[in-house]
Structure 1
């Protein structure tokens, strides 16, 4: 066990008593120094924390990470951002001024005790602060240093300092253009889908690098970016475009994607909305009673089929249609609000909805880890931290009492 690991296990409550039959967490003993903010990094490091890693979140003194002040629907939760609460459980907060040389040296000493360093500043920022990959590697050669960015570390867009943000990347990658009707504006997804996908990509890269270090004894610099991930998640669509030499046509009637044929779409019913995925049109004609549908081609006539089904589905309620379509083999589902979906999870007592006692916001509901392990299930060990809540606890592991007391004033929040 590396020096410092035992202290971390004790302080995060993950220590098991000798002889205990309880199983260790999947990532117990892994220590992560997290400089990231917003969603790309914090969502990835929360996943690592859920699986047992000790995640040390570095923030600026005072206001803390930028997302702490992000209002969702124009409001906060008892002074806390719902977005921050959603992505920062199972972490300890250390608040220091990264531009202060004494604080920087303390962080380098802390990094030398860690397995992983994560950051998602613009390219070059961490190096200019003296906290880049080469600075950390000089102290710990097998460090896994992970950088997330909008456009990569050394691409034309990165060199031009272009802003890398989810909506902008959805637009620039073609994701938004391929959603919506012909003649209408490109349509953004209802969540930060590129940020979330890149966070999961980053977590995958970290886990792969940990395996490589375990087997090959190497550290490395892991890099992910929003634009590359946005292109990667469109792998099947891009394969069709570049190999079939054609840009897909957008639908005029509301087929949700230029890649889908009828009957795929969202349909208004007598009391709500119904989503239909895919099925042979002759089977759809049989179940809906519109014989004309069986004469149409699912791709060439998809807009006509969609218009005919729009007129059919509005005649019954969503549940009435589901009672016909599902037994008949059609892929269909009610289109619900997020609140309705969460209500169902609550009713099922699903671990996907969990509660945590936050020191400022009180009882908070959060969406849990989406991975199920038979032997090492995720655990909620720590609530999202207050700014600098664990500064003294963490830095005392690498600094003497005199060194810690010297870090006063605006440089650190104890």
Structure 2
């Protein structure tokens, strides 16, 4: 059945999601969390590429691996899955028949590929003039790179992120570093979500649909934020500082006896409290270290002394001591520690949903906290084609016999 629109912000919206992997599905999951009926269209037999991107895989009730990779589970909750061969004329016709029932089309095919199928924006808006059509690609719909395939890792490098991420050149481990998650993909999914919501709002006021052109490279350049404006203002590209700060010392990570902590000293008073808590008050009295400008000039002398001081105690001992002293600090948690954290638990950031396999799927919750229309967490990521009969029957009036005939021909 169609997800209930009750008490959701987007319960009146239906999204036809032709995207796969991460950026597009992340956007569609945001919309689904907010109540939209997201119909995920997948290839018969294989589905979204990420379904096989494991291990790890979801476990069934007996503890055996299912066919659902954890990667896929991360970006596909609250959706309905149908299988459809859109490369076939019959599949293309079904997409066109579904279109009047949908408000948004989301796709991440290569530039020009859907035009060959008659499923591009111009073709589909002829059927539904107020359609909102969002394309997600590596480099956008125009420009000299538009026909290149875009990958998050490559875009992190091309867009400047890796030039400011990683340890400094010349120190152990120095060199460019990508992020631990696919930030270009995820941020493109977030920007696409915002753009779709803005387009829906515009349509509500004007009745006018539009095309949205999202590119990973554009997003990566935009999210360089102050680093980008630092360069544009000065003409000098910023460099990598690892976990240190170019203008504040100490403002970095340190290895404690059993893990790492972050110390973010913002002024001279906090610095004194830090070294006093560590039993080294003389490091605050030393004129080489008494003020931040001097600490920056002498960081190569000071930081090893602070590192030795921190290494003498456990992570929790340091957190307790520095919080008591009013020194900004925090642990660097593994994910087991993250989900065991009392604040994370209090905020309900893990949800557990029953899965059609008979097991349970544990997922990070949506971080959007809304007093009237909170995000929903009622549908686990669907199995491949789980809702084909349901959706085609509900929206197009197809009977099971008609759908079985399509299935026999490999079209659904």
TM (norm. structure 2) is 0.88
Q: Does the alignment pair 1:65 with 2:65?
A: no
Q: Does the alignment pair 1:326 with 2:323?
A: yes
Corresponding residue number in structure 2 for 1:99:
87
- 2:270 maps to which of 283, 291, 295: 283
SS in 2 for 1:93: strand
Q: CA deviation at 1:117?
A: 0.4
Q: CA deviation at 1:170?
A: 1.0
- 1:315 maps to which of 300, 312, 317: 312
Contact 1:262 1:299 survives alignment (8 Å): yes
Contact 1:91 1:385 survives alignment (8 Å): yes
Corresponding residue number in structure 2 for 1:44:
27
Q: Does the alignment pair 1:217 with 2:217?
A: no
Q: CA deviation at 1:300?
A: 3.9
Corresponding residue number in structure 1 for 2:278:
none
Q: Does the alignment pair 1:250 with 2:233?
A: no
Q: Measure, in 2, the Cα distance between the counterparts of 1:345 and 1:398.
A: 48
Q: CA deviation at 1:347?
A: 8.0
**Structure 2: 5+ residue stretches without partners:** 60-64, 276-280
Q: CA deviation at 1:281?
A: 3.9
User: Larger deviation: 376-385 or 135-144?
Assistant: 376-385
Q: Measure, in 2, the Cα distance between the counterparts of 1:150 and 1:173.
A: 11
SS in 2 for 1:153: coil
Corresponding residue number in structure 2 for 1:154:
142
User: Larger deviation: 235-244 or 376-385?
Assistant: 376-385
Q: Does the alignment pair 1:174 with 2:140?
A: no
Q: Return closer, same or farther for 1:255/1:383 CA change in 2, 3 Å cut-off.
A: closer
Q: CA deviation at 1:106?
A: 1.0
Contact 2:41 2:83 survives alignment (8 Å): yes
Corresponding residue number in structure 2 for 1:269:
256
Corresponding residue number in structure 2 for 1:18:
none
Corresponding residue number in structure 2 for 1:26:
9
Q: Does the alignment pair 1:398 with 2:384?
A: no
Q: Return closer, same or farther for 1:285/1:410 CA change in 2, 3 Å cut-off.
A: farther
TM (norm. structure 1) is 0.88
Q: Measure, in 2, the Cα distance between the counterparts of 1:134 and 1:29.
A: 24
Corresponding residue number in structure 1 for 2:62:
none
Q: Measure, in 2, the Cα distance between the counterparts of 1:266 and 1:112.
A: 54
Q: Return closer, same or farther for 1:404/1:68 CA change in 2, 3 Å cut-off.
A: same
Q: CA deviation at 1:282?
A: 4.9
| Number of residue pairs the alignment of both structures matches | 391
- Structure 1 vs Structure 2 CA RMSD: 2.3
Q: Measure, in 1, the Cα distance between the counterparts of 2:201 and 2:97.
A: 24
Q: CA deviation at 1:356?
A: 1.1
Q: Return closer, same or farther for 1:144/1:300 CA change in 2, 3 Å cut-off.
A: farther
Q: Deviations over 1:246-301 (max 9, x none)?
A: 123434xx5446x5532111101122211122412453134312223215525444
User: Larger deviation: 359-368 or 323-332?
Assistant: 323-332
User: Larger deviation: 274-283 or 29-38?
Assistant: 274-283
